[in-house]
Amino acid sequence: MSPIPTVNAGRGEAIAGRALDKQWMERVARAGILSRAVNYMVLAILVTAVLLGRSNKEVDRRGAVEGIAGAPLGRTLLVLLCMGFVAYIAWQLLRAVASRRDQGPAANTGRRALAVGTAVVYAAFLVTTVRVLVGSSTQSPQNDQDSLTARLLGASGGRLLVVLAGAAIIIVGLVLVGYAASRKFETLLDTSSMGRSMRRAAAVLGIAGQAARGLVFVIVGGFVLSAGISADAAQSKGLDASLKTLAAQRFGALMLSVVALGFLAFGLYSLIDARYRDDFTR
C-alpha cells in the first residue's frame, strides 16, 4: 500500500513557483509590466502639463486614466490597460506566495510584503480604470487621502500613526533612491542577450526612473509627516497636490522637470524590463 502524501504549508509555494516557471506566466508578467510602462509615461505627460501650467487633470491614477480615455481609441486602450493591470496584480500575488530558496526568512517576508503592497496599489489603478471605462464617477485620490488623514487625526493615537505613515513613506522613497544607486535592478534582466547600447540605456533609464520615484515618495511623505506634526489634515497631500505645491516654489520648475523626466525614464525602462526580464520571482 503506497503511503499517503503529506500536505504541507509549502505546497502552495511550490505550485506558485512552478507556475512562475511556465512560459504563460512569463507572458502575464510581461503584459503587466507593459501596463506599468504606459501608466508612468502618461504620468510624465501630466507632470509636464503641470510644469507648463496647462493641466486640467489631476496628476494621479484618475488623471492618468482620464488622459488615456481622451486619446484616440481611448476606450480600447483602457480595456487593454485593464487587462495589463489584472496581469500585473496576478503576477505580484504569485510572487507573494512563492518562496525563494536563495533568500532567508526575513528577505522572503520583505519581498512578499512588497509584492502584496504593489498588488494593492495596482488594484486601485484597476478599479479607477474600470470606473472611468463604464462612466462611473470617481472620487479624487486627494479627497480620499484628506478624509483618511482627518479621521486618523481625530482618533486616539491617530496623530502618531500619521507621523509614522509619513516617515514610512519617506523611508520607502530613500530605499528606492538607494536601489537606483546600487543598480540592483540590472540583476533582474537578461543582460547577456542585450547589446552594449541597450545595457547602457537600461542602466541610465533605470537609475533615473527609480530615483525619480524615490524623490516623489519623499515629497509626498514629507507632506504627510507635516500633517501629523501640525495635526492639520490639509497639510497631507497626494501626488497631484504635492507636485502642484512644488510648482509654486522657487525651484519648483526644476524639480517638476526632474520628476517628469524621471517618470518618462521609468516608463521607458519598463519597456526594456518587459522585454528582457528573466527573473519573475523578485
Span 106-118, pLDDT tens digits? 887 888 888 898 8
Span 176-195, pLDDT tens digits? 999 999 999 999 999 999 99
Q: Where are the chain's structural domains?
A: 11-276
HEC-encoded secondary structure of the chain: CCCCCCCCCCHHHHHHHHHHHCHHHHHHHHHHHHHHHHHHHHHHHHHHHHHCCCCCCCCCHHHHHHHHHCCCCHHHHHHHHHHHHHHHHHHHHHHHHCCCCCCCHHHHHHHHHHHHHHHHHHHHHHHHHHHHHHCCCCCCHHHHHHHHHHHHHHCCCHHHHHHHHHHHHHHHHHHHHHHHHHCHHHHHECHHHCCHHHHHHHHHHHHHHHHHHHHHHHHHHHHHHHHHHHCCHHHCCCHHHHHHHHHCCCCHHHHHHHHHHHHHHHHHHHHHHHHHECCCCC
Span 206-252, pLDDT tens digits? 999 999 999 988 988 888 888 888 877 666 666 667 777 777 777 87
Q: What is the pTM of this model?
A: 0.79
